[in-house]
Amino acid sequence: MRANDESGNLMAEYSAFALIRNALSANRDWKPAWRKPEPKPNYDVIVVGGGGHGLATAYYLAKEFGITNVAVLEKGYLGSGNVGRNTVTIRSNYLLPDNIRFYEHSMKLWENLSHELNYNVMFSQRGVVNLGHTPGQLDDFVRRGNAMRHLDADARLLDLDELKRLMPGLDTSRNPRFPILGGLIQPRAGTARHDAVAWGYARAADRRGVDIIENCEVTGFIKDGDRVIGVATSRGEIRAAKVAIAVAGSTGEVMRMAGVDELPIESHVLQAFVTESIKPFLDTVVTFGMGHFYMSQSDKGGLVFGGDIDGYNSYAQRGNLPIVEDVMSEMLALFPGLAPVRVLRSWGGIMDMSMDGAPIITTGPLPGMYLNCGWCYGGFKATPASGLCFAHTIARDEPHEVSAPFRLDRFHRGAVIDDKGQGATPRLH
């Protein structure tokens, strides 16, 4: 179905004909991409969090399960959280089977997402390259690449000559501090436009009848005994049969309102940076193998890059200077020619770091509640699969087959998904 806009008109499909028609009318007839409804007193499902995961969940609830009486509650404006504050990398180049299956499922959804949403999310399959600096690291890449190919993800080893052709600005000389011996590329990986993803899912969910309610902060939970039956908000009480939480780095604070004080996650700040626009310099996404650094070039020409999380717990969307220095030094270790380039801006996103580096998509921990959190560095690339799997969990009260390993009870069972091999140390992920 197509939703009405505030004037009662059906919202038209985006198309070349619509573009020409509106160009001829001086663009006066474009309709709002989504409605601005007042909250109703009751819904079948409330999704707390209007980021990528919350919007995708609402969209798939409507599309795949026919549940359209859904409200998405966002405390600020739509896309003001992590979905609009990230480095936009999409990949499925993991080692452990549970992660490969999930993120490859997401990759396949990304490949058709613009068509499905009738909205250009600017998915660019430019490849993701992991640089190898030691023979042992290259052996590890062989292992990871074979694991990926066994589960239908794509991977290929690159030698030094191929890296030189792919990234001419890369320092591949014989005497750098961290010599480069080769790399692993996932050619189908790449980037998308973060705000376009939020707007595309919002518009598509709205057109199927979902209410997207901005400037609606959750201030508490309504319970019947232990069961969650609604939320108190800055715009009044709203009740629902099911309440789903998808608030990324704010998960701990929101769950404490529900009386849940202990979860296997911590909130940390992750900084990112953008340089001035320069000529085409980098046609892929590249990661540093002797530290934590990743970089790509945006369609506007700026280099977008980041590194480690700040080592302390924080809810501030800003970071500290030691991480800035660390990230810049790693960039120049790979691309010394970038030293004169100016950094225009930086920002911080709040990351909900799980104890094993893998996400949590689960029923509970209270009756009537559903939880989506613990995305660490992987939230943006997971957006389609996270939304689909969370919608399945909410609609069916059981996990989707590709997200079943990510239930909350894995920490009690000792079935952690420790892809990075560092255990329950979120400060190291």
Residues 6 or more apart whose CB falls under 8 angstroms from that of 174 comprise none
Question: Would you list the DSSP string of 42-93?
Answer: EEEEEEE--SHHHHHHHHHHHHHH----EEEE-SSSTT-SGGGSS--EE---
What average pLDDT does the chain have?
93
Taking the mean position of all CA atoms in its chain, how far away is CA 98? 18
Structure token pair of residue 335: 């691309």
CATH of region 136-190+266-354 = 3.30.9.10
**pTM of the predicted protein model:** 0.94
Q: What average pLDDT does this structure show over 78-83?
A: 88
Contact 307, 326 (CB under 8 A): yes
The count of C-alpha atoms lying within 13 angstroms of the C-alpha of 102, restricted to the half-sphere facing its C-beta, is 32
Runs of H (alpha helix) within 304-405: 321-334, 383-396
Runs of H (alpha helix) within 272-406: 321-334, 383-396
Residue 4 scores a pLDDT above 60: no
Residue 169 scores a pLDDT above 60: yes
Q: What is the pLDDT of residues 109-158, one digit of tens each?
A: 999 999 999 999 999 999 999 999 999 999 999 999 999 999 999 999 99
Residues 6 or more apart whose CB falls under 8 angstroms from that of 429 comprise 309, 353, 357, 376, 377, 420, 422
Contact 337, 172 (CB under 8 A): no
Give Cα separations from 410 to 237, 270, 362 (angstroms): 34, 26, 10
Strand 70-73 vs strand 211-213: parallel, antiparallel, or unpaired? parallel
Task: Give the per-residue pLDDT at 84.
Answer: 86
Q: What average pLDDT does this structure show over 367-389?
A: 96
Alpha-carbon distance of 181 to 185, in angstroms, equals: 14
Q: What average pLDDT does this structure show over 271-283?
A: 96
Residue whose pair of structure tokens reads 């939880």 in the numeric block: 371
Nearest to 130 by CA among 116, 118, 120, 144: 144
In which band, very low, low, confident or very high, does the pLDDT at 15 lie, cut at 50, 70 and 90?
Answer: confident
Alpha-carbon distance of 398 to 394, in angstroms, equals: 8
Q: How many residues does the chain have?
A: 429
Residue 426 scores a pLDDT above 50: yes
| Domain spans, the chain | 35-85+194-264+356-428, 136-190+266-354
> Can you name the residues that pair with 169 across neighbouring β-strands?
none
Asked if CATH classification 3.30.70.2740 holds for the domain at 35-85+194-264+356-428, the reply, yes or no, is no
Q: What is the pLDDT of residues 306-358, one digit of tens each?
A: 999 988 888 888 888 999 999 999 999 999 999 999 999 999 989 999 999 99
Window from 33-37, 175-179, 234-238, 266-270 with minimum mean pLDDT: 175-179
Of residues 65 and 424, the one with the higher pLDDT is 65
Q: What average pLDDT does this structure show over 13-41?
A: 90
